[in-house]
Amino acid sequence: MKASRRKQKATPVEPKTTDAYLAAVSPDKRIALESLRKSIKAAAPKAEECISYQLPAFRLNGKLLVAYGAAANHCAFYPGSVVQAMKDELKDYDTSKGTIRFPANKPLPPALVRKLIKLGIAKNSGGS
C-alpha cells in the first residue's frame, strides 16, 4: 500500500529584498514600516539593508543592528537588548525581551527610533 501524500500548504515565498517584503504586506502596515525604515536609515546611514530571518533588517559592520516586520495584528521593531535599557520610555508599548510591538496606525516616533538605534550602535561597537 502506498503512503498517502498529504496536501501541503503553499509556503509563502521568502522575500529576497526589503522592497519585496514591504510589497507583500497590507497598505497600512507598509506605510508604518516605510516610516520606520526611513527613521532607521536616518539614524544609521552607514548601515546596510538586508533580510534576516525572513524580515527586513539592517546590518552595521557585519553585525545585525535591528530588524522589523508585520504580524497579523501589529507591526514589530526588533532592536534587541536595548529594549530593556529603555523600559521606562517604552512603557506605552507592548514589549518583550528584544521586541517592540505597535499598531500600524501609530508608528514609532522617529526620535524614539533614533535613540534605540544609537544605543544599539554603541552596544554593537563595544560601548555601554
Q: In the predicted model, is pLDDT for residue 8 greater than 80?
A: no
User: What DSSP string describes 30-88?
Assistant: HHHHHHHHHHHHHH-TT-EEEEETTEEEEEETTEEEEEEEE-SS-EEEE-TTHHHHTTT
The model's pLDDT over 57-79, given as tens digits with 9 standing for 90+, comes to: 999 999 999 999 999 999 999 99
Q: What global pTM score does this model have?
A: 0.86
| CA dist., res. 68 & res. 76, Å (int) | 6
Domains of the chain listed by start with CATH number: 18-121 (3.90.1150.200)
Our measurement of the distance from residue 50's CA atom to the centroid of its chain's CA atoms, rounded to an integer in Å, reads: 11
